[in-house]
Chains A and B, each alone.
Chain A
Amino acid sequence: MAVCNELLAQVRATAQQHGARGVGTITVRIGALSGVEPDLLERAFTIARAGDYTDAARLVIETIGVRIRCRACGNENDAAANRLLCSACGGYAVDLVGGDELLLARIELQGIPDAEFSKQDQNAQGEKNYV
């Protein structure tokens, strides 16, 4: 639920920043080792979004499997969350390459006219160039 509130706070902030009137699909990325259960997040989402302009939003969860790289032989392989061993040499000194993500990937914003959005886009580009 705490994760869900943070998610909605970030969605609202982004929507306000762009002057959006509504929110469509919200895509989040969750790794198998992130400590967050996709099903539970989905259920929390339907409760937390109520009575808000995110009410009609749809949550899409992309789950990401665990991937590890062996420090000894450099081999990279997929792994089960509780079996983090190198599949080539059996080594246990491995680094996590993927699987601990907990990210808000993208948001579909509604109610922004095309012209307005491309202007915002240019501004964002300009800021990036300036830095």
Chain B
Amino acid sequence: MCETCGCSIPGHEHPEPADTHTVEVLKGLMSSNDHAAAHNREHFDRSGVLVVNLMSSPGAGKTRLLEQTAAALGSGLNIAVIEGDLETENDAERLRRGGIRAHQITTGSACHLDAHLIHRALHDFPLADERGPVDILFIENVGNLVCPAAFDLGQHLNVVLLSTTEGDDKPAKYPVMFRAADLVVVSKCDLLPMLDDFSVDRASASLAGLGNQTPVIRTAAGRQPDIAAWIEWLEARRGEHPVPLGEAGTPATQTA
């Protein structure tokens, strides 16, 4: 069918009107977001904070994991959280009750956070408090395995939670999200004995099919928390994260 007039005569052409011209643009459709993300990343790097973008389906246990993380880290590392939800301050309030500094972004109807929203939040949310500079900033993204994967926020690491009450083939169903992961956390592992349809091995195999070697760790953050592997991973990433220039990061003076 002719795409211009819709008729079925093959091979006929419609000449372009004389004053019509085609220009090549070849510009990324994320360039506005990517620009803001680069700006955020610069800001984070100047402050020396490690930023982790936490993503999952709704209800996989992101907020719960953060509560337990703060309890496990104690006074060791200073953490703060930017929360993304469509509505309510509930999650930020929940974290604050646990003594965690948290800022809530409500997106209204948007199903993901973008770099501009984070930028705006940072104006009201300093990366240091009375305990000193923030070591790790978590961005708890809107519960959604689709859109958050496409928007760079300026984070250093992506962590995706997959809970045992979901399907273990989620990585194959949501390849864009899981391909972007630097770590996959299988959460609610304390429920595994009760579930007959989730296998951590199958989840790992589904992830390996995406062609990356993302590590998979198990956590349980319920009544008897077991998040040692997660804390170990976090501390290692924090350990290798560069400190800001001007402090310990200043190159030693060369002596001739």
Could you list which residues of chain A lie within 8 angstroms of chain B, going by C-beta atoms? 2-3, 6-7, 9-10, 14, 18, 24-25, 28, 33-36, 68, 81-85, 92-94, 102-114, 117
Q: Are B26 and A82 in contact (CB under 8 A)?
A: no
CB distance from A99 to the nearest CB of B (A): 10
Q: Number of B residues contacting the other chain (C-beta, 8 Å)?
A: 38
Q: Are B23 and A106 in contact (CB under 8 A)?
A: yes
Partner of B19, one of A7, A106, A112: A112
Give Cα distance in the complex from A84 to B24, angstroms.
Answer: 31
Stretch at the interface among B146-154, B157-165, B237-245: B146-154
Q: Are A2 and B179 in contact (CB under 8 A)?
A: no
The residue in chain B whose Cβ has the minimal distance to the Cβ of A41 is B29
**Chain B residues closer than 8 Å to A7, beta-carbon distance:** 29
Give Cα distance in the complex from A109 to B27, angstroms.
Answer: 16
Binding site secondary structure of chain B: mixed
Q: Are A6 and B32 in contact (CB under 8 A)?
A: yes
Closest 3 CB pairs of A and B: A84-B211, A35-B150, A82-B175
Q: Are B21 and A108 in contact (CB under 8 A)?
A: yes
Could you list which residues of chain B lie within 8 angstroms of chain A, going by C-beta atoms? 16-33, 110, 114, 146-147, 149-151, 171-173, 175-177, 179, 208-213
Q: Are B24 and A105 in contact (CB under 8 A)?
A: yes
**Chain B residues closer than 8 Å to A102, beta-carbon distance:** 28-30, 150
Give Cα distance in the complex from A118 to B212, angstroms.
Answer: 48
Q: Are B27 and A117 in contact (CB under 8 A)?
A: no
Q: Are B149 and A82 in contact (CB under 8 A)?
A: no
Give Cα distance in the complex from A2 to B213, angstroms.
Answer: 31
Q: Are A93 and B213 in contact (CB under 8 A)?
A: yes
CB distance from A114 to the nearest CB of B (A): 7
Give Cα distance in the complex from A18 to B213, angstroms.
Answer: 47
Give Cα distance in the complex from A93 to B151, angstroms.
Answer: 24
Q: Are A34 and B19 in contact (CB under 8 A)?
A: no
CB distance from B177 to the nearest CB of A (A): 8
**Chain A residues closer than 8 Å to B146, beta-carbon distance:** 35
Q: Are A104 and B29 in contact (CB under 8 A)?
A: yes
The residue in chain A whose Cβ has the minimal distance to the Cβ of B147 is A35
**Chain B residues closer than 8 Å to A28, beta-carbon distance:** 29
Q: Are B176 and A33 in contact (CB under 8 A)?
A: yes
**Chain B residues closer than 8 Å to A105, beta-carbon distance:** 24-26
Give Cα distance in the complex from A92 to B210, angstroms.
Answer: 8
Q: List 14 A-B contacts (CB under 8 A).
A: A3-B29, A6-B31, A6-B32, A10-B27, A10-B29, A28-B29, A35-B150, A35-B176, A81-B175, A84-B175, A104-B29, A107-B23, A108-B22, A113-B19
**Chain A residues closer than 8 Å to B114, beta-carbon distance:** 2
Q: Are B27 and A104 in contact (CB under 8 A)?
A: yes
Partner of A106, one of B25, B149, B150, B151: B25
The residue in chain A whose Cβ has the minimal distance to the Cβ of B17 is A110
Give Cα distance in the complex from A14 to B27, angstroms.
Answer: 11
Q: Are B211 and A85 in contact (CB under 8 A)?
A: yes
Give Cα distance in the complex from A40 to B17, angstroms.
Answer: 30
